[in-house]
Structure 1
């Protein structure tokens, strides 16, 4: 007995050194400067203290619940509807269930398998009386996982199950931010439409005033024609904006898995968002962002796949047996039947498939290396997305004050030129230029406000926001 224990211990040490039983070590470090060099001020919590791991995840933007970020009640209702009805999100949930079933199957592989295999025969020789034989055995088979094949398969299935949950979370984040982006696009278009309609009314009055000046001999027909052309251009832009609103509403309907309709919504100028937030330290990306977690789960599954391919070089040991009743005792038939039992142990060692096993092992190793490179690239992509979104948010906030001042100056200029034209101190071209420049600036001001909101949403997504 002691010899058997010594042999098994030696075999265990040998297999461990060969990598059959090695454990995957999760990533705990990220490249230096993952978010870029200009984000130090945003890697602190709102109170100024450095963001750390653990409980401080809730201090960062990525750890914020989407209800806290998106406070518009209309938007909240739409997101709730999307989480209930979106087909991609439901498909992701089904993938989780599939992976869970695969993991359960891998766990059950450690247990013996039982089967009832009843048999019956009727035979007759040279017109003699037919003989009937039967057997009612219960067969059992149990593979001893000494060399780690089933253990590695179970760990691989466990990693794939975790990956499916990460994919489910990624779809959830994508859905929440997609609905939010679409909603705020509608708010931007609504405001631009309101500005354009207001401008349309102003141009209508300007055309009438210019025509009156022409009738009084203070303006010519060219001035009236130029004003009318500008008026028609604004009317055309109103129609374009209405068409865009319809298209965006249709896009929102697709996200909500329903037929197109009009959606009740708020006003862009009334939207409120956190003024101070942190983006957390880069290492939090490993636990917050679902696509990064998913890429690492793929690497983990490939790691255990390599272990499984390595364990295929070792023999498999299977215990099998049967027990039941039969009336066939070799050349005799006995009734009633007698109890019979048998047990068999088998060891299977691949002899002529070594080349195939080596090829499969090389494939597994290459897939592991490929998964490692994909994980590194996913992490770099995540850091780049954070930097892009943060830079866009900072730029939009910086432009906001400048655009406000520009619009205020252009409004004054438009009023002044209109009054001067009415009194004959300026030309219609100055009025035309002032009004067109004002409209362009007002539309840019609205677009910049949307860009600020959109970059904040993209930053929330890049940090892995929207977690359950």
Structure 2
């Protein structure tokens, strides 16, 4: 009989080995995760310093922007919520660790009864304890799952931080772009006022007509509406950035776009560096690990639970605890509980856990593809913005000459003032587009920095 019991226990222990497996990150293919990196001249060799490894203060050197980022890191609501999630996960982890320790409780009971004129007193006090022996992986996998959930909450906080830094920088540079466009529009409005006065003088001299003046006035008022739209955009962006910074809507102190320095060349490193740097990928990896351990917990439900219980205390059925302390009572019990009729429920729970684990694996792999796409998009945006700036510079030179030539032709009565207006409007559009090109380049650097996992420090 003893041999049969030992044999049975051996089979159970051997079959439970699979419940003790430790999570390992699945192998993923990172080859060609970035697209067309060799065709972009601004990309440095892979062994150069990865842009994503730069501390944010080294990339964003504007003192006003640095102050805003520091404020956001202290007061942003989303980041504060992420910190609270870490506290919650840490408390859950502590609870899972305490499951290894025995439960200890104290109880004290006093009874007073009266029957047929006779009074009896009794008193019992004692300690009781129970301990679940972690033989079949249930407690261990629960603890490991809590650890990965804690790491997942830390990665989530890091992802929120990188997103916050990128969002503040993007909003700040967007405000600088709007400031420049507002300045260009304002100078053009003042210049247009002078031109309208000059045209009225030319009309009195018979050198132009009322139609040209009316066209100029229409363009002038169109510029004023553009100026108002820019003012509104600035106000709305300041309000949005204020909310991100955790403060009431207010004006945002900032510098000028001409003082911003961007890296002339960038390095994106190798995809494996991105895999290690990006907190959102780490978050998906830890979610997969949590699902893995949850599956192990569901699998461990098929095995018995072994619990040891013990109690000790004093009893006094005659009353008078001080004069007659009574006797010491002690007991110890070992119990083994195995599932029988709940097998179907356990199978269903295991099936659900496996399905959730497979779903987490798909999410993890998809996060890699998304990250590679984000890096590729930011790289191409950076390359395109540089090329656009070069072409825009040539366009501006040509339009400035066009305005000059059409004015000279108008003075020689060889062209109409409508041609002068058209040339001036084309120049204004190009000047405004030049600021958009600058912002595109800045935004591409921010996007690439975030896509490579920058902003962790």
Q: TM-score range by the shorter chain?
A: over 0.9
Match for residue 163 of structure 1? 152
CA distance in 2, matches of 1:276, 1:97: 40
The root-mean-square deviation of aligned C-alpha atoms, in Å, is 2.1
1:404-460 deviation line (CA, Å, top 9, x unaligned)? 111121112112322332342321111111011001101111001001000110111
TM-score, reference length from structure 2 = 0.95
Residue 13 (structure 1) aligned with residue 14 (structure 2): yes
Which of 54, 59, 69 does residue 69 from structure 1 map onto?
59
Q: Distance in 2 between matches of 1:40 and 1:135?
A: 82
Deviation at 1:13, TM superposition (A): 3.2
Query: 1:267 is matched with which residue?
Result: 256
Q: Select the residue among 37, 40, 48 that pairs with 1:39.
A: 37
The alignment status of 1:176 with 2:165, answered yes or no, reads yes
1:197-346 superposed matches below 5 A = 197-328=186-317, 335-346=324-335
Write out per-residue CA displacement over residues 100-131 of structure 1, whole angstroms, 9 at most, x where no aligned residue.
11011101100111011111222222x23221
CA distance in 1, matches of 2:78, 2:317: 60
For residues 279 and 80 of structure 2, what CA distance do their matches in structure 1 show? Answer: 17
User: Deviations along 1:60-112, whole A, 9 cap, x unmatched?
Assistant: 01111000100000000000000011111011001001101101110110011
Give the aligned partner of residue 122 of structure 1.
112
Question: Counterparts of 2:86 and 2:34 in 1: how far apart (Å)?
Answer: 31
Deviations 1:18-41 (A, max 9, x none): x211111124533421112x1147
Shift of 1:6: 8.7
* Distance of 1:418 and 1:71 partners within structure 2: 43
Aligned pairs for 1:72-83 (under 5 A) are 72-83=62-73
CA distance in 1 between partners of 2:408 and 2:97 (Å)? 84
Question: Alpha-carbon deviation of 1:278?
Answer: 1.0
Residue 374 of structure 1: how far off its partner (Å): 0.8
- Asked whether the 8 Å contact 2:40–2:383 carries over to 1, the reply is no
1:28 and 1:283 in contact (8 A); partners too = no
Structure 1 residues 216, 44: CA separation in 2 closer, same or farther (over 3 Å shift)? closer
Unmatched tracts of structure 2, length 5 or more: none
Question: How big is the shift at 1:10?
Answer: 5.7
Give deviations 1:361-397, integer Å, cap 9, x for gaps: 1000100011011111111111111111111111001
CA distance in structure 2 between the partners assigned to 1:364 and 1:28 by the alignment: 21
CA contact (8 A) 1:30 1:283 kept: no
Encode CA deviations 1:203-227: one digit per residue, 9 max, x unaligned: 1111111111111111110000001
CA distance in 2, matches of 1:74, 1:372: 42
Alpha-carbon distance, 1:160 to partner: 0.3
CA drift at 1:282:
0.8
TM-score (normalised: structure 1): 0.92
Answer yes or no: is 1:351 the counterpart of 2:350: no
Which among 400, 408, 423 is matched to residue 411 of structure 1?
Answer: 400
* Secondary structure class of the residue paired with 2:250: coil
Q: Residues 48-197 of structure 1 correspond to what in structure 2 (within 5 A)?
A: 48=45, 50-51=46-47, 59-125=49-115, 127-197=116-186
Measured in 2, the distance between the counterparts of 1:236 and 1:68 equals 39
Q: Deviations over 1:129-153 (max 9, x none)?
A: 2211111111111000100100000
Shift of 1:403: 0.3
CA distance in 1, matches of 2:223, 2:351: 66
What 5-or-longer segments of structure 1 have no aligned partner?
A: none
Cα distance change of structure 1 residues 9 and 280 upon mapping to structure 2, 3 Å threshold:
farther
Measure, in 2, the Cα distance between the counterparts of 1:208 and 1:6: 108
Aligned residues: 451
